[in-house]
Amino acid sequence: MSHPEKGDGISVCCNATSSRRCLKKIAFAATLCVASVTLLAIHHTKTSGIMARIHHGLIMCASNTGTQNIAQAATISSIERPSMVRLSLTSGADGQVDVEPGSSSLATVLDTASHSNTLLMLDLHGTDPKKVARQVSKAHMRDRVIFVPADYKDAAAALKADSKVMVAIHVNSKRDAYNAHRMAGRHPYAAYLSPSASPSLFSLVHRDAEAIITDTPSSQVSTADFLANRPVDIMITHQPYQLTTSLAAPLAHAE
């Protein structure tokens, strides 16, 4: 004799079991998707961040001549040299942070830099470092940006704005070097030295700072000789392509 009631119960049980299996499969697929995105982000950080680029060689930073340099920096990258662009920030009348010269918003520039795989050095010039840091974080550029404050007071504010964004601190003496290291604490920082600083000062800050920044030396000094006596990670120049080419020439000749 058949029992319709039992049959219906078995059907409901099977449907419930199938639903649970489907939900588990969906959850597993979602987990794999999230894991894949996370691994991709980690890989991108390891290969595109400032420290990763420093590991592969000297970073040529195009000095502040406008947002068009972001496109120019991609050309430098094409010859296997890390690239960075230095830009100045200003507070717009509407409260947003803009980039000088020109009137491009920082958000727009960050988006362009993110897609072109370009590093940025940002002169804060009195802008609110917390506001700048929020936009940098939103653009997922925290490991690809360096803040350049005007003085120690601004440096302290920049260090507090974000625990991950590197801050450049001007160092002109041994005392400055010790103060910078003490003020930064565990925060990643770069020592910004004048090209006229002694090789011994460069060596001193090299022990503590994550990066050493300087400007191109005077024309009376060979850049190759200058770099041979000083540990430099980022060099700021008006002519990044020409400087990169000139430094590569002796290597090609040696081969």
Write the CB contacts of 209 (distance below 8 Å, at least 6 apart in sequence): 180, 181, 189, 190, 191
Per-residue pLDDT reduced to its tens digit, 74-115: 555 555 444 789 999 998 877 889 998 777 899 999 998 898
In angstroms, the CA 175 to CA 188 distance is 19
Cα 25 from chain centroid (whole Å): 38
The residue written with tokens 């930073």 in the block is 61
Residue 149, φ and ψ in degrees, nearest 5: -80, 160
User: Based on the number of CB atoms within 10 Å of its own CB, is 206 exposed (0-12), middle (13-18) or buried (19 or more)?
Assistant: middle
Per-residue pLDDT reduced to its tens digit, 165-212: 999 999 999 999 999 999 999 999 999 999 999 999 999 999 999 999
Q: What per-residue confidence (pLDDT) applies to 65?
A: 58
Average pLDDT, the chain: 80
In angstroms, the CA 39 to CA 113 distance is 21
Which residues, in sequence order, are bridge partners of residue 237? 62
pTM tops 0.85 = no
